[in-house]
Amino acid sequence: MENLHGWLWEDFAELGSTNDYAAGLSAQPPAPRFAVTAVKQTAGRGRRGRSWQSLEGNLFMSLGLEIEQQRWGELVFVISLALLETVRALKPEIDISLKWPNDVLVAGNKISGILLEKGAGMYIIIGIGVNIVSAPAVSGSLLYQAGSLAENGIRTGRVTFLKAFLQQFNCGLERWNRQGFAPVKELWLQAARGVGSEIRVNLPRESLSGIFKGLGDDGCLLLETAGEIKKIAAGDVFFRQD
């Protein structure tokens, strides 16, 4: 194990799921903050039980961190901002934006995924996948077009990106803990795609269209539809041009 910016880090040649391994560690954590990565992941998963294609050379990481469960909804915005800031530091002029609730888009394509799961006690397990060198081919199982950093001119390695991300994430956590969600929300909205535009949100039992009016103080999406503002806690967002 190695200490990376205050995170005790363990890297594996292969794991089924970094999230599953990190969840097991959280029962007897090796450090207050820990990170698990794998060169190869054979059973990765995304939100709502979707599969995650773990292509060789990409980054698969899970972080263990103690946070009150009522703050989880805010945490996902801290994470996506840290990912955006990490990519921007590598290529400041890059076309990058955020899509509610937790996607990072480069040139309009999804380059990362975030999955939060309950660990032991107060621990949350933060699973993150980043398409460093390649992206999944378009298929019926993909909700969104995927992209990679390499195809957008960023040459980096999974460990290099991990180290840079942990630095950005530490800064984001400190800002959030010191100043609350308001500055996180403001920064997120500055980088968000589609604010003020028409979007469609797919929910488990229906699909809603309307104008993306921003975020609530709890991170919910605010959708103006049929003359009223609806608060949406979870869903899949699609833009009109998509």
pLDDT digits (tens, 9 = 90+) for 135-160: 987 654 446 789 999 999 999 999 99
Ranges of CATH 2.30.30.100 domains, the chain: 198-239
Q: Where are the alpha helices (DSSP H) in 138-213?
A: 158-179, 181-191
CATH number of 2-191: 3.30.930.10
Q: Which segments within the chain are labelled E, that is strand?
A: 2-4, 7-15, 34-41, 59-66, 96-99, 103-106, 109-110, 112-118, 123-130, 198-202, 207-215, 221-225, 228-232, 236-239
pLDDT score, position 204 = 85
pLDDT score, position 52 = 52
Ranges of CATH 3.30.930.10 domains, the chain: 2-191
pLDDT score, position 145 = 85
Residue 77 is inside which H or E element, if any? helix 72-90
pLDDT score, position 161 = 98
pLDDT score, position 42 = 87
CB atoms within 10 A of CB 116: 19
pLDDT score, position 220 = 94
Q: How far is Cα 82 from Cα 74, in angstroms, rounded to an integer?
A: 13
pLDDT tens for each residue of the chain, 242 residues long: 899 999 999 999 999 999 999 999 999 999 999 999 999 988 766 554 445 556 789 999 999 999 998 999 999 999 999 999 999 999 999 999 999 999 999 999 999 999 999 999 999 999 999 999 999 876 544 467 899 999 999 999 999 999 999 999 999 999 999 999 999 999 999 999 999 999 999 998 889 999 999 999 999 999 999 889 999 998 999 987 65
Whether the Cβ atoms of residue 25 and residue 33 lie closer than 8 Å to each other: no
pLDDT score, position 1 = 86
- The pTM of this model reads 0.91
- At residue 115, what are phi and psi to the nearest 5 degrees? -135, 115
pLDDT score, position 141 = 46
Q: Is 186 exposed, middle or buried (0-12, 13-18, 19+ CB in 10 A)?
A: exposed
Residues 6+ apart with CB under 8 A from 117: 19, 23, 124, 125, 127
CATH number for 198-239: choose from 3.30.750.200, 2.30.30.100, 1.10.3230.20, 1.10.540.10. Answer: 2.30.30.100
